[in-house]
Amino acid sequence: MQKFLLALLLGLPLFVHAQVNTNIETNGFLDRFYQEENTQVVKTEGGGWFWVVVKIFFYTSVFAVGGFFLVRYFVKKSAVETTEDATFIEVIAVKQTGLGGYIEVIKVGANYYLVATSGDGGVRLLDKIVDRETIDYIELHKDTLKPKPQEFMNLMEMFPFVKKVDRTQYIKSQKDRLKKL
């Protein structure tokens, strides 16, 4: 019983041998098949479990890659198309106000707006910025106020064991290295 439960939990195939009633009379036709089945010797090669594990990893990776591309395809198909022109509508600054809530300064054309967004997709216009001093401050500090795009390398900088590398310096060193070859 313990072997049965352990195999069930691990998802291993169960080989249940049922007792066959040999007292049943047959017409002789099936006896030939039963005798051949009993006389066959199952040969297992050494490393059988190795190939089972390799197959498991192979099929798991195939399904994972296929699932990744399938999800990516559906995300692309369901995404709302946006324009690439950042000069007409531009997000200037973002400040988190709570769980899923943000206050954003957005430039639409030549006008600036203060907008509140929430995690459930709600957007509310808080105010139109008309103060000339505030607009001049935003224009002067626009590059430092802009939110940074989340990239993998930016996420890796959180860890203390990752050393910070200047990307342009790294590319220059790689070019120099290739020239020396």
| Low-confidence stretches of the chain (pLDDT beneath 50) | 14-20, 37-41
Q: Give me the pLDDT at residue 128, please.
A: 92
Q: Give me the pLDDT at residue 64, please.
A: 95
Strand, helix or coil for residue 65:
helix
Q: Give me the pLDDT at residue 17, please.
A: 45
CA 177 – CA 170 distance, rounded (Å): 11
The pTM of the full predicted model, rounded to 2 decimals, is 0.41
Q: Give me the pLDDT at residue 18, please.
A: 44
CB 94 within 8 A of CB 147: yes
Q: Give me the pLDDT at residue 28, please.
A: 65
Tracing tokens 């860890």 back to the chain, one arrives at 159
Q: Give me the pLDDT at residue 138, please.
A: 85
